[in-house]
């Protein structure tokens, strides 16, 4: 809907009514007395203009609501909307109070109360757009018009009041149209961001499923290699009884172990069979122990089993990336991991904190375990992301990541929220306003 076209049409209709009334009055033989331009403007221009502005937007809102769906459902959404709540709790009490002051106060108080009635209208307009003007303008116009009956109004007072209302309501409609455009763009950007996040979550989960399938295939391949090598070694012993089989057997075991380690780094067995806490307590602990780094894991809270698989995947990968990041310092001798899950206002979340303890006395031990430290990222399946990349990964789940460096510490904290369900996505898309309003 083009608000500029709407206001232009209202203005043209009012001017046409004024021209028609002027023509009729000019040719009417019953007209007696001097010509009163102020009363004429109030009666035949400002009056019809304010009346149309008060009624037509309601008709348009009802028509738009009927186009968007069932009228009963739209009426229920209107009652539950924030605009209705703000109108009932702020606008109506403020207008009633100002109307009472306008009725019982002095002439100066009446002027201040009349002008102040535009303030709640402007506040609602800044918050909700042109629909707020359509709701509040009839109430304000009615209160001011009732307080100043035309037959009792002093000269010029009714004209000034009507002119003030016309300029105020027209300006607020133009401002509300601009704000509605901004609100529509913000809502569209928000829905686009939600869609991008949903696609990123799905891609992350599909990638994790492929890694899990590949890990299982590698484990099966390792078992097959073990059986094949055993049979091959047995056949060689039958053909050449005096063959030295120790080196061959050791090489076969080494190949099998490498395949198992590769499968474990892609998707740990503990995670696959016993969940995220087992992976953090077993897989990560074993890798850090082989690298000569002390490790402590604390898991508290509830709701881990109800979290979406993509959130658990992101939590484990973020924990591995954070551990690799803090252990990249040679002075890191100990890693403390704290994991907590919870639920706030019906939305589940999970918080992760990885703290690396830095001790200068541990550099010698770090140098001794240099090779194992270099293989730590491969063992944990980490990509060695930096802080901005980890932040981007956490933002997929509406999360945040902070880094702190207190004395002898390197601390990374991440907060992730549960993935939005498909039905919630559909509900948001259904309730989003599809219209764009503009004023040029």
Q: Per-domain residue ranges for the chain?
A: 3-196, 274-440
pLDDT at 434: 42
- Under a CB-based contact definition with an 8 Å cutoff, are residues 110 and 100 in contact? no
Which residue numbers in the chain have pLDDT < 50? Answer: 32, 421-440
The CATH class that applies to domain 274-440 reads: alpha beta
pLDDT in tens, 142-168: 888 777 665 555 556 677 778 888 888
| Cα separation values, 93 from 80, 114, 120, 237, 433, Å | 19, 15, 10, 98, 28
For 17-61, the pLDDT digits (tens) are 777 777 766 666 555 455 555 556 666 777 788 888 888 888 877
Is pTM, for the whole model, over 0.95?
no
Please count the other Cβ atoms lying within 10 Å of the Cβ belonging to residue 15: 14
Distance CA 164, CA 412 (A): 59
- Can you give the pLDDT at residue 292? 87
Q: How far apart are CA 284 and CA 309, in angstroms?
A: 19
Kindly compute the dihedral angle of the four CA atoms of residues 106, 108, 111, 116, in this order, to the nearest 10 degrees: -100
CA distance 170 to 45: 14
Report d(CA 200, CA 387) in Å as an integer: 19
pLDDT tens, residue by residue, 394-431: 888 888 999 998 888 899 999 998 865 443 444 444 44
- Rounded to 5°, the CA angle 61-66-72 comes to 105
């Amino acid at each position: 809907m083009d608000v500029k076209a709407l206001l232009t049409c209202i203005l043209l209709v009012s001017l046409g009514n004024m021209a028609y009334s002027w023509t009729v009055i000019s040719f009417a033989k019953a007209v007696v007395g001097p010509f009163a331009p102020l009363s004429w403007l109030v009666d035949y221009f400002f009056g019809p203009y304010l009346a149309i502005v008060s009624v037509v937007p309601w008709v348009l809102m009802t028509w738009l609501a009927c186009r968007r769906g069932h009228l009963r459902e739209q009426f229920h959404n209107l009652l539950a909307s924030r605009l209705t709540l703000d109108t009932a709790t702020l606008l109506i009490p403020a207008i009633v109070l100002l109307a009472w002051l306008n009725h019982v106060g002095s002439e100066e108080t009446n002027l201040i109360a009349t002008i102040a009635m535009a303030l709640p209208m402007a506040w609602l307009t800044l918050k909700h757009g042109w629909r707020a003007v359509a709701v509040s303008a009839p109430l304000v116009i009615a209160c001011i018009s009732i307080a100043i009956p035309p037959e009792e109004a002093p000269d010029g007072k009714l004209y000034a009041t009507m002119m003030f209302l016309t300029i105020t309501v027209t300006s607020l409609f133009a401002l509300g149209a601009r704000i509605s455009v901004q609100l529509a763009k913000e809502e569209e950007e928000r829905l686009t961001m939600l869609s991008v996040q949903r696609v990123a979550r799905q891609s992350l989960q599909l990638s994790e499923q492929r890694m899990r399938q590949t890990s299982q295939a590698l484990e099966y391949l390792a078992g097959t290699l073990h059986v094949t090598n055993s049979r091959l070694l047995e056949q060689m012993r039958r053909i050449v009884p005096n063959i030295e089989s120790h080196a061959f057997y050791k090489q076969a075991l080494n190949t099998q172990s490498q395949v198992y380690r590769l499968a474990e780094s892609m998707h740990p067995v503990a995670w696959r069979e016993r969940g995220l806490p087992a992976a953090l307590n077993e897989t990560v602990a074993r890798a850090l122990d082989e690298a000569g780094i002390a490790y402590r894991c604390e898991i508290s809270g509830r709701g881990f089993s109800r979290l979406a698989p993509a959130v658990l995947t992101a939590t484990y990968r973020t924990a591995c990336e954070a551990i690799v990041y803090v252990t990249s310092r040679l002075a890191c001798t100990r890693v403390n991991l704290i994991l907590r899950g919870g639920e706030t206002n019906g939305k589940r979340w999970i918080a992760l904190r990885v703290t690396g303890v830095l001790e200068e006395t541990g550099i010698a031990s770090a140098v001794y375990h240099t090779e194992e430290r270099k293989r730590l990222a491969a063992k944990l399946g980490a990509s060695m992301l930096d802080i901005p990349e980890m932040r981007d990964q956490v933002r997929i789940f509406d999360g945040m990541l902070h880094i702190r460096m207190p004395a002898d510490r390197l601390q990374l904290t991440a907060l992730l929220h549960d993935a939005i369900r498909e039905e919630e996505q559909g509900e948001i898309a259904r309730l989003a306003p599809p219209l764009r309003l503009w004023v040029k």
